[in-house]
Amino acid sequence: MSYTLDINGGYMTYISIILMSLFLMKNVNAKDYIFEGYGVSELSTIEISDDFKFSAYTSEGMWDDSNGDYGNEKCSGYLKQQNKKVELEIFCETVNQNNEKFWNSRIRKSDKGGGIGKMTIINGTGKYKNFIGYECPYGVNYKKQYAWFRAKCKIKN
């Protein structure tokens, strides 16, 4: 059996289909879920010493994502500041435009101000049930009480 190079179809079409299929399969496996939030935070702080503060943290805001969803969220947790280092652990309830919800934890250990942490989706309703267990690196930046948040999750297939 011999194959001939037929520019008008045949063998080249077969090779093209295989290459396109491999390319598309690779991209399907590489999809990311991007979550962006914007909010206002409030701290209730106890100053233990000049370089040690402990705060109860709450925030409310809005968000959108790479799937076209949007909504509001509220968060609550703690913030510990010691020697210009920050340790933060908060839990958030996130509600989309269809009243579907997911709950997540956000943990960060970094220098004071913005930084990088990990968001973990711990529960969900509707479409967000499929997101439970996602661990997503995030970045956050603050200006006074205003926060800008962005998380990027690798989609499980």
Structure tokens at 76: 């609550």
Give the mean pLDDT of 108-124. 90
What CATH number is associated with residue 89? 2.40.350.10
Rounded distance between C-alpha atoms, residue 8 and residue 157, angstroms: 37
Whether 104 and 37 map to the same domain: the answer is: yes
Whether 115 and 128 map to the same domain: the answer is: yes
Whole-prediction pTM: 0.77
Residue 7 has pLDDT above 80, yes or no: no
Residues 6+ apart with CB under 8 A from 89: 77, 78, 105, 106, 107
Total number of domains in the chain: 2
Whether 57 and 5 map to the same domain: the answer is: no
Whether 68 and 2 map to the same domain: the answer is: no
Task: Using alpha carbons, select from 121, 147, 132, 122 the residue that is nearest to residue 37.
Answer: 147
Task: Using alpha carbons, select from 94, 50, 88 the residue that is nearest to residue 75.
Answer: 94
Whether 38 and 26 map to the same domain: the answer is: no
Rounded to the nearest integer, the mean pLDDT of the chain is: 84
Whether 96 and 49 map to the same domain: the answer is: yes
Domain encompassing residue 148? 32-154
- pLDDT band of residue 17 (cuts 50, 70, 90) is very low
Whether 114 and 56 map to the same domain: the answer is: yes
Whether 41 and 24 map to the same domain: the answer is: no
Whether 21 and 97 map to the same domain: the answer is: no
Whether 40 and 63 map to the same domain: the answer is: yes
Give the mean pLDDT of 104-125. 91
pLDDT tens-digit series, residues 43-80: 999 999 999 999 999 999 999 999 999 999 999 999 99
